[in-house]
Amino acid sequence: MENKEKKNSIVKRMIFAVVAGFVVGFLSLFLREFLNGHGNGNVWNIINAIFFQDITTTDGFEGLGLFYIIGQLFMRGLQMAIVPLVLTSLSLAMCSLADPERLGKIAGRTFITYLCFYVVAAALAGAMAYFVKCMGWFNVNLPAQEATETVTMEGYNPLVTVINAVPSNIFTAFSSNNSILAVVVVALILGLSMTALGEKTEPLKNVLQNLNDVVQLFLNFLIDKIGPLAIFCMISRTLSVYGVEYIKPTLVWILTTIVVSLVLVATIYPVGIFLTTRLNPVPFMKKAAKIGLFAAATNSSAATLPLNTKTCTEELGCTPEISSFVLPTGMTINMNGTTAMHMVAIIFIATAAGIDIKPSTLVVAAFLSICTAMGTPAIPVAGTTMVYVVMTGLGMSSELCMIGYSLVLAMNYLPGMAVITLNVIGDAATNVIVNFKEGVLDKEKYNKVEK
């Protein structure tokens, strides 16, 4: 009873933090426009310096940036735990799944389910965005002055992800959150080797288990105690920093991405669960809602992994062993929300730049996006940045395309909140499906209604 009340309290505090963040953020946005419009820009500069200033920039050396500091400390704390969490949880999962034949089935089912969700998300997102294009809603005037703020990255063959998955130096892989896929491979090798050596590796297994317990304790504290305040600060600051000059030309893209993502969340996962398990998808959606909410607030699938694992094992009837494999793997390769966002962004950028994109081009875009998304780091903004890779593959390199890309980057946070929800709830849905197919899903726990 006490744990249930504590869990409900955390969910309520997260909901309150999100709502309060939007309220304060929009009020700050309107206050800034009002003060600047009435010649009181200095007043806003003082407010911005105290609460919202990015203190790491040259312009922010005199600011306090209280909201910025709280948000950054929270996100850095979460990101600090990503590598040890993936390493320990996957390694221990391999030890618990000692039967190679069973492990192969679980891995196969996991990958196929994720791939199916990828394809469906890309197809539906592309179709909905193409409809918006045909309605003429993506025809906007791009602000040419923003071209100088474009952030670019080198294009590359998406299959390079396969090579980079095997690190030449494991310590290099452990030193960056940009190499999570390599950490997954190291963890799988370590776990399988420990299983093959048997009792000889018990001391190492105990060390990994203790490290996993330490990481889980730290993350639970960070999420339960600091999470709501940090979420409030991050959302408030994001809405306060971006002005209407950015919002106006990209409003249709923002709304389209959010609507497409939420429609996909409400359709493909319930339908997928029903078709593959014949279970009632309503309990899943109710219990997975807080996972999506937390992911939307933090904008990081890695940060949501502990809550996702807890919800799957304690409320959805999934086993810890299979969850320890499916969820970290999904955090790494399941970015179907990112692919959906890529499809909308590509159509928006092309249309705004005067390019009449065809359905056949969208098929190529979907392939490039899926390959790219699988190697996207589980950190904020990474998926939006990778839009450039898809653009390069399609030959979209004109100045107007770069302007559209810069606007997508500038206003990525709000759409990203919906996109990340699609990713993490997909991890949970896949976990339920794999557990059911393995015959280990606790149906009573899955169908239990939380009071």
Per-residue pLDDT of the chain (451 residues; tens, 9 = 90+): 445 555 556 667 877 887 888 888 888 888 888 888 777 778 888 888 888 888 877 665 677 888 888 888 887 887 788 788 778 877 887 776 656 677 778 888 998 999 999 999 999 999 999 998 888 888 766 655 443 344 343 444 556 667 777 888 888 878 776 666 678 788 888 888 888 888 888 899 899 889 988 887 887 788 778 888 888 888 788 777 765 555 666 778 888 999 999 999 999 999 999 999 999 999 999 999 889 988 887 777 777 888 898 899 999 999 988 998 899 888 878 888 889 999 999 999 888 888 888 888 888 889 888 877 776 655 555 667 778 778 877 878 777 788 788 778 767 777 888 888 999 999 999 999 999 999 999 999 999 876 5
Q: Which long-range CB contacts under 8 A does 396-401 form with residues at least 24 apart?
A: 396/346, 396/349, 396/350, 396/353, 396/355, 398/353, 398/355, 399/147, 400/142, 400/352, 400/353, 400/354, 401/349, 401/350, 401/353, 401/355
* Contact predicate 384/416, CB 8 Å: yes
- In whole angstroms, what is the distance from residue 393 CA to residue 365 CA? 8
Q: What is the pLDDT of residue 260?
A: 92
Please state, in angstroms and as integers, the Cα–Cα distance from residue 383 to each residue in 336, 338, 341, 372, 427, following that order: 10, 6, 9, 9, 17
Q: What is the pLDDT of residue 194?
A: 86
In the structure encoding, which two tokens stand for residue 170, read together? Answer: 């494991």
Q: What is the pLDDT of residue 3?
A: 53
Q: What is the pLDDT of residue 141?
A: 66
Q: What is the pLDDT of residue 146?
A: 42
Residues 6+ apart with CB under 8 A from 393: 155, 158, 364, 365, 368
Domain boundaries, the chain: 2-447
Instruction: Determine whether domain 2-447 maps to CATH 1.10.3860.10.
Output: yes
Q: What is the pLDDT of residue 247?
A: 63
- Spacing of C-alpha 381 from chain mean position: 9
DSSP 3-state assignment of 375?
coil
